[in-house]
Amino acid sequence: MQATTRRMPPFLHPKHFNRTFIPLNRSFHASSGLRALDLAFDYHENGGKATGAPIVFLHGLFGSKKNNRSMSKALARDLNRPVYAIDLRNHGDSPHDKTHKYGALAEDTENFLRQHNLRESTLIGHSMGAKTVMTVALRSPSSCANIIAVDNAPVDAALASDFPMFVKGMQKVEEAKVKTQKEADKILEPFAKDLPVRQFLLTNLIKAPNESYLKFRIPVSILAHSLDDMADFPFTNPDENRFEKPALFVRGTKSHYVSDETIPIIGRFFPRFELVDVDAGHWVISEKPEEFRRAVVEFLQDKE
């Protein structure tokens, strides 16, 4: 059995809440005054046949809308719903900005929903994208019908040590002003041992305008300084902010981002949540696409 679904009770016993994950001394407000950016996106409509409520798909750190192309097409086909796969700020074809925090990412996403007049949307996000859709749901519950968060939880939790190493490797690649992907891969290898991860990171490597060398299209220095912000979560008090609509949390059982200890906290912020375990690491969608697709389809068909 590759995937296991657990429907969680809406209320969990207070004895589960005595850990120190949720200090109650700070809160987050929607009126943050952040400047929203216009986001690039791909649109998947199954040849014009997809007419249901929209799905908006958000990638993770160092990713782009291209990462979710195959899954977006599959969901548009299986659910008869159009899918917007977006590039978050500082990623893909979207604009760059020195501010890279979840408040800003959520502001951009909400602006995207308004610009395209998307109502009753499902927001799907992986990793950084997962915390972004959680942030949108908690600060603006009316902006979506439900959310699907993939391998992340609404807590402050340190990123895996891999991510700072990835940044160091990408900085080394840029310093070398490489001319081929092969050169870049060789420099990156000590910082990212797994070939699929290097291939994922190198999808961001493009020829610099009017230059003979390759450069990352993502602003590596901005993202390097934002790693601590990506580990944080802007809400800390579920008594002040709660999303009462359906939410699906998909976690990789070989990943540490959604530990058993975080489940009661998820239940407080998202009392109608369901949990699906997939036998995978952090890269759930690429590692086990069929299990992920099936979990999403079952969750959303159940809500229709």
Among all residues, which ones are annotated catalytic? 127, 282
- Going by DSSP bridges, is the β-strand pair 41-44/83-86 parallel, antiparallel, or unpaired? antiparallel
Task: Compute the CA torsion angle 158, 21, 122, 243 (nearest 10 deg).
Answer: -160
The amino acid occupying position 141 is P
213, two tokens:
């060398």
The amino acid occupying position 263 is I
Residues 236/19, Cβ–Cβ less than 8 Å: no
288, two tokens:
């086990």
SS3 call for 215: strand
Task: Compute the CA torsion angle 235, 237, 239, 241 (nearest 10 deg).
Answer: -10
Instruction: Determine the Cα–Cα distance for residues 239 and 111; give it in Å rounded to an integer.
Output: 26
Residues 55/82, Cβ–Cβ less than 8 Å: yes
Among 24, 26, 21, 25, residue whose Cα is nearest residue 234: 26
Exposed, middle or buried, 290 (CB in 10 Å: 0-12/13-18/19+)? exposed
Task: Compute the CA torsion angle 214, 216, 217, 219 (nearest 10 deg).
Answer: -140
